[in-house]
């Protein structure tokens, strides 16, 4: 009996020690999971960042992220305009599936999509949203965010007088004393600081939607001064000042991470939601430099979707100061970041794929599926402003001209000017100047078939969610 008693005591001691050890291992394992800062600029062109070849604009912090990690040269947004692009980045799926529509009349995005914030939250992460949301409605909790400070729930807001939607508070308006980019950053830093101090500290996923350099063109005068006398296009000196101010604020966040010793294990992604805006409403009389790309925001040409993207993870991605030719899109961030965090995706399948292996080893080649883009500015009777990319080949159909397209119910009989499909070899013709469709009939037929099948698929899924047609 005495022997049995001592055996039981030893078993209890062993069990207790095992629980302690297991607890330590579990905590350590969690600590190994990276923090994630996902930073999205608004209407920022590829040519607006120094590391992509702009010799005038000052972006030392963003350039530093590229130097400490990777600068992606073939990164493309999932759509050529803000809302659809953001929905795709947050879900890993084509926005066309989700019920979301932005064609002057906006429909919300479905809560049934596999929102990345919800998956991070379920995986034990602290989740937060800052700045611009633009995903159709303000149900941030339903999409997985525990905490939010939103300054632009929709398309845009003034940089001094902006709405503030904060967790647990009633909607209010800023007092005009703090520039929006600075305010967003202040809130991000407060969140990082508070999360770090929590006894049950968790890794965090923070989505930061800066509104710069979207109109209205506003920035403190000291940011404009360095760009005066540079013979820039109208409005460009202010835009560059807005970008520089954003760059400085990203630097503030990085310094906070370093102070808390969390910098090394934080993934920082910096992207733009779409290409730059060129137009009279932004008071630009001519185009600013954009790496020789054709088109701009709202166009599925490269100028509308081939945008800046830099990423670093000091603990796992070697500092290479190199250009990465990996053909990622906004669809790929959800599976890639969940992969980095060791979280198995759940819910509806992603359209994107994980590029984690390629980012950690630039010589590793991730298989890239044929990708699709669309942006219909109205309820179209024809398919236009769409694109298909298969490797270096791009099939593109320009936007049709639509006359008298709106009544008070949003749609009327339309007068349209049809357009024809075009084919470009992006390897030899990155500016999309030479249409080679006549010499590539088989390739064109294959790509067109892929697009038509995809279009039917996403429209059917959209109908099931929204009860309406995108393209009746």
| Phi-psi sector, 106: left (phi>0), alpha (psi -120 to 50), beta | beta
pLDDT at residue number 271: 98
Q: Tokens standing for 102?
A: 């932005």
Phi first, then psi: what are they for 16, rounded to 5°? -65, -45
Range(s) of the chain covered by CATH 3.40.720.10: 31-360
Class for domain 371-466, per CATH?
A: alpha beta
Burial 106-134 (b: 16+ CB within 10 A, else e): bbbbbeebbbbbbbbbebebbbbbbbbbb
Residues of CATH 3.30.1120.10 domain(s) within the chain?
A: 371-466
Could you give the CA distance from residue 352 to residue 268 in angstroms, rounded to a whole number? 19
Confidence at residue 342, expressed as pLDDT on a 0 to 100 scale: 97
pLDDT for 1: 42
- Within a 10 A sphere around the Cβ of 364, how many other Cβ atoms? 12
**Of the CATH numbers 3.40.50.2300, 3.30.1330.100, 3.30.300.180, 3.40.720.10, which one belongs to the domain with range 31-360?**
3.40.720.10
Of the candidates 337, 364, 342, 341, the residue with the CA atom closest to the CA atom of residue 353: 337
pLDDT at residue 184, rounded to an integer: 98
Locus of tokens 């611009």: 132
Residues of the chain with pLDDT under 50: 1-30, 104-105, 285, 472
Nearest of 393, 324, 387, 403 to residue 358 by alpha carbon = 324
pLDDT of residue 319: 85
- Helix 82-91 × helix 333-341 angle, to 10°: 30
The reported pTM is 0.90
Q: Which tokens belong to 300?
A: 């599925």
């Amino acid at each position: 009996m005495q022997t049995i008693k001592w055996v039981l005591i030893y078993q209890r001691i062993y069990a207790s020690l095992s629980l302690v050890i297991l607890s330590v291992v579990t905590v350590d394992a969690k600590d190994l999971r990276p923090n994630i800062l996902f930073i999205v600029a608004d209407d920022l062109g590829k040519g607006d960042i120094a590391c992509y070849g702009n010799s005038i604009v000052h972006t030392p912090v963003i350039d530093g992220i590229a130097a400490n990690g990777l600068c992606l040269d073939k990164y493309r947004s999932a759509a050529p305009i803000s809302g659809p692009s953001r929905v795709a980045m947050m879900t890993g799926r084509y926005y066309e599936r989700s019920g979301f529509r932005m064609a002057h009349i906006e429909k919300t995005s479905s809560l049934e999509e596999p929102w990345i914030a919800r998956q991070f939250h379920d995986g034990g992460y602290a989740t937060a949203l800052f700045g611009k949301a633009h995903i159709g409605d303000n149900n941030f909790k339903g999409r997985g965010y525990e905490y939010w400070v939103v300054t632009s729930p929709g398309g845009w807001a003034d940089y001094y007088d902006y709405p503030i939607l904060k967790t647990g508070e009633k909607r209010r308006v800023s007092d005009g004393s703090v520039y929006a980019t600075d305010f967003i950053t202040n809130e991000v830093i407060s969140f990082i600081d508070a999360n770090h101090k929590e006894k049950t500290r968790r890794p965090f996923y923070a989505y930061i939607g800066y509104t710069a350099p979207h109109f209205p063109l506003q920035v403190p005068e000291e940011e404009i001064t360095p760009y005066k006398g540079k013979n820039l296009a109208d409005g460009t000196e202010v835009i560059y000042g807005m970008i520089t101010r954003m760059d400085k604020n990203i630097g503030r966040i990085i310094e906070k991470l370093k102070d808390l010793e969390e910098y090394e294990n934080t993934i920082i992604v910096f992207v733009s939601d779409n290409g730059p805006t060129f137009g009279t409403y932004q008071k630009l009389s001519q185009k600013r430099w954009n790496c020789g790309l054709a088109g701009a925001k709202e166009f599925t040409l490269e100028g509308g979707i081939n945008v800046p993207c830099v990423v670093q993870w000091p603990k796992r991605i070697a500092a290479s100061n190199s250009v990465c030719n990996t053909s990622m899109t906004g669809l790929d961030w959800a599976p890639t970041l969940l992969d980095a965090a060791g979280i198995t995706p759940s819910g509806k399948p992603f359209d994107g794929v994980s590029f984690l292996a390629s980012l950690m080893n630039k010589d590793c080649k991730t298989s890239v599926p044929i990708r699709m883009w669309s942006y219909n500015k109205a309820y179209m009777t024809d398919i236009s402003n769409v694109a298909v990319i298969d490797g270096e080949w791009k099939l593109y159909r320009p936007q049709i001209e639509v006359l008298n397209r709106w009544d008070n119910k949003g749609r009327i009989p339309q007068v349209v000017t049809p357009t024809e499909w075009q084919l470009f070899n992006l390897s030899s013709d990155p500016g999309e100047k030479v249409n080679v469709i006549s010499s590539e009939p088989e390739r064109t037929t294959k790509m067109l078939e892929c697009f038509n099948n995809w279009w039917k698929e996403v429209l059917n899924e959209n109908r099931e969610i929204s009860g309406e047609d995108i393209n009746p």
